[in-house]
Amino acid sequence: MSIRKIVTIVDEIRTEGGRPVEPVARVAVVAAVIANPWAGQGFVEDLLPGIDAHASDIGALLAPRVVEALGATVEAYGKAAVVGLDGEIEHGSALIHTLKFGDHFRTAASATTLLPALEKRGPAGIVFDIPLKHITDATIRSHHQSFEVRIPDAPHPGEIVIALAAAAQGRPQQRLASLSTEQ
C-alpha cells in the first residue's frame, strides 16, 4: 500500500447555542491518502485481491490513530472513502465495506454496530461529510451527526482518501427525544 500522507484533525466545541459545552465536545478524524490499487487498470471485475492486499492494513493503521487522537472514550464513529477522478466509487467502497477494514475500528472503539459510511468520487480539495452514529446502538439520536472534512491536495486522480472519525459524545446541546417516544 502506497501512502502519500496522513492527516489528523481534532475539533473541540466549547460553546454551542450561546452556552458552554460541558464537557468539551471532541471529534477526531484520521485520513490516509493512498494510491488507488486499481488505478490505470481499466474496469477490474474482481476487486477481492486488492481488498485482501490493502483493506486490513489501512484499517489497522487508522483505527488506533483516531482513537488516540480523540483522547477520550469513543461514543460515535464513522468512515469515508473519497476516490480520485480516475477511479470508481466502488474502489473506495471495496476498501471500507469489509470486515477486514471495519473490525479494526470496532475493536479499538469497543463497538458493535456497523460503521456509517460515505463514499464519493471527486477532485482534490473536495469537501466530504463523515456520518457518525453511536458505537453500540445506531438508533440513539443524540449521536447522529456528521463531520465535514477537506484535504486541500487530495485525492489526486489516482488516489483514494480513506478516513475514520470518532466522537467522544453525541451532538453538543442535543435535546431531541429518544426514538422510542415515537414508536
Cα–Cα nearest to 78, from 149, 23, 16: 149
Query: Do the beta carbons of residue 24 and residue 56 sit within 8 Å?
Result: no
The predicted-structure confidence for 46-97, as pLDDT tens digits, reads as follows: 999 999 999 999 999 999 999 999 999 999 999 999 999 999 999 999 999 9
Longest dimension (CA), the chain: 53
User: What's the confidence (pLDDT) of residue 22?
Assistant: 92
User: What's the confidence (pLDDT) of residue 40?
Assistant: 86
| pLDDT interval class at 109 (50, 70, 90) | very high
| pLDDT interval class at 39 (50, 70, 90) | very high
User: What's the confidence (pLDDT) of residue 180?
Assistant: 65
What's the pTM value of the predicted model, to 2 decimals? 0.94
Q: Does the structural domain 3-182 have CATH classification 3.30.1330.110?
A: yes
Show the cell assigned to 110: 469497543
Q: Is 160's pLDDT higher than 70?
A: yes
Query: Do the beta carbons of residue 157 and residue 86 sit within 8 Å?
Result: yes
The ranges assigned to domains in the chain are 3-182
Q: Is 165's pLDDT higher than 80?
A: yes
Query: Do the beta carbons of residue 166 and residue 147 sit within 8 Å?
Result: no
Mean pLDDT in residue range 38-44: 92
